[in-house]
Structure 1
Amino acid sequence: MKKLLKSKRRGSAIPLAIVVVLILLAMGTGLLRMGLNSRTFSTRTTSDITARCAADTGLTMALYQMNQKLQVKPWSSSSLPTVGETSLLYSDATYTYDVTGDLANGFIMAAVGSADNAERTVYATIGLQGLFEHAILTKGSLILKSGTTIDGYNSQDPLDTEFKVNIGTQSTADSMVVLNSGVNVKGDVLVGLGGNPDTVIKDLGATTGDQLGGTENDPLPTITPPATLLDTGLDITAMGEIVTITPADSGQYGSIALKQASTAGILEIDGGDVVLYITGDIDLGQSCEIIVRDNSTLTLYIDGNIVSGNGASIGTEDPTKDPTTIQLYGTGTSTQSFDIKAKNEWTGVIYAPNADVDLYANGDVYGAIVANSFEFKAGGNYYYDEALREVSIEDEGVSFVIERWYEGSPKLSIEDIKASPIK
């Protein structure tokens, strides 16, 4: 009897062991399944991310090709960029892209990225952006004299009273923007990408909108003089006399030198639109002037420096608020210096990313400025023309930029994307 009971006690462990094994087997299977699911999810996620990167690369390449197409004159909306399946560098992923639309209705870029079984499609509308998106933009220092007001206007729409007036620097160094006491900026003040506004901006008692760190630096394209300008092999000189330049005299010259004799030397721009490319310096002696007559404009490309003596002036015959009347483009490859004076109000645009610009005017200033550094010493205030944001395909330095971006599967119209939220 004792032997029988003892045998039963030993046999009862077998079912318990089986139960334990089954539990461990279930747990192991669950863990394996969890690991498999995690790996599958990870693989799918990686494929999705890779496909998205490929699609974004497609959009980037499409935008690049559109800007390359801008360099071909005259512009044509035919043969817009499109590419078939292309491998993403250092990856098994591929992308395709195509651009549709026209200048009148807008352009839409579509790109498809593929990686393993994942596919992502992204769209973007693009528009033209000019050189003067900001009232004042510098690569380095920006100094405003005490009491200066920075405001806006619209030379093409007098009824427009809502202005986006921003000034800023692309620098992140300390005290690059100096706002002296009484300065009133009716807009935001921006600093370079990753910069700290508290250290980059030296605020000595100014009133401004937001003071912000930039999210990106505006591109500063290199401007080259038109290749169609004839090299005259001459200099422009006026020694106590008036020299007149008309559209027929447009071309390339070595330098401009205006000097005072018994009277001041004067260079007058008359008869229409004059385009000059100066490979050397512009030297204005005491009281000498460059005057743009009524119904005329001056577009000036200069490799050298601009020097203005006491009482010298670059300006218009009568006050105007159209900044395209005088357009100055610094085309030197090394640092330039623009010392610009005006006897009255000054209206114009200056695009000279390599130039240190000082502006003295005996009145208000109208237009926009892009420079390496800028110091405003005028007797009046500074007004940015918001109409400068409205550009055409033929304007100097324009480029295509992404306006809105959207990810989705169905092909959308431009109107759909414009109505969708920005992502």
Structure 2
Amino acid sequence: MAKIDLIVRRAKLDGKDVDVFVSRGKIAEVKPSAESLEPGDARVEEAYGLQLMPSMTDAHVHLREPGFEYKEDVESGLRAAAWGGFSNIMCMANTKPVNDNDSVTELMLDKARKFWPKGPRLFPIGGLTKGLKGEELAPMAELARAGCVAFSNDGVPVKSTELFRRAMEYASDWDRVVIDHCEDPYLGVAAGVNEGEVSSRLGLAAQPDVAEALQVSRDILLAEYLDMPLHLAHISCRKSVDLIRFAKERGVRITAETAPHYLVLTEDYLEDEATEYDTNAKVNPPLRTKDDQQALFDALNDGTMDIFATDHAPHAGYEKETEFDLAPCGISGLDTALSTTWQLVADGKLKKDAFYRAWTTGPCGIFNLPVNTFQPGDPADFFLFDPEEEWTVVPETLYSKGKNTPLLGRTLKGRVKTHFIQGKKIV
């Protein structure tokens, strides 16, 4: 065995007590805990029976820097990621200026190296079109060389199918995947509430589920015609799930994500007496129905839905403290994602293997990112987790600048106690 640098003792993995041996930032061995141990020169970290979990990957985050640092910046966003259990963060291009040239990409990466040199790792997503205007393709070669791992027009759907096709083809030349925000550009764009009985009773302008499904249909047909991969962002409704499942049965190279808030909340939250018109629950696509939520659970458990992603979208408090129609869409999610989704496992709604796939092997496989499966040679990215620790979601317990979550005031279970990336303790 190679020289051991770190030993994590008496951690729980799959219900068993294990010791983890790390060498040069990689997993050397995981074996049943020994009564006695000769650590040599290795550092020893006592886990005291805490749960050992592989670090997670979030493929859809808004870090806001450059341009909107009052909402979030690279330093604060990665802090929330570190305490949230994430080792890999993919950040969207809707900054100011837009990440559509290598200078913006390099600024993001420089900030990450400056403030979090040991990780979490930052992987920028390049703009699909210049200025996200949907008129002219961004310089993908330049962005790929600078470090962008995928391309997306983020929350601005590309209206031109011809342009979107060319974007997929050029991205493929650089072995990059396009991520699409699926929303018909003419049907209730960014309304923030689902069209149906709830929106009617509340008197709010709304977006129907078909607005998402129409764009999903277009993307599936293009991916099938071109025989190229395409990733669908933040899927929220049954219609989309059914289309994706049918496409996968035909062998279409489609992958898809959903976000934790769609599994924890439904549109009913917005007309509950205590939370009526809560702008912290205004998100795009909007919270949907209980039936849509069940479809997402089924899709995660049977593998139709590939991954989780938070769609972490921090905003300043005053931006959300306004009328519902005027408030920006977005939920801050890095701090709460682990606790909420692990609770779904504890409640029997989400299979444990689906949880791990959705947060680890799934996104890393799609975007070619480093992943730990606790096999020898894997990156030593893991955290110790207390699944029983209760904590209340209040601004003071959130590491992100963004306090805009509809979970404010709730008590959650499960907290990261310490986090290692490549064998180095980061928190």
The structure with the greater share of residues assigned to strand is 1
Asked if TM exceeds 0.5, the reply is no
Taking structure 2 as the reference length, what is the TM-score of the superposition? Answer: 0.26
The structure with the greater share of residues assigned to helix is 2
Taking structure 1 as the reference length, what is the TM-score of the superposition? Answer: 0.26
Q: Say which structure, 1 or 2, has more relative contact order (CA 8 Å, 6+ apart).
A: 2
Larger radius of gyration: 1
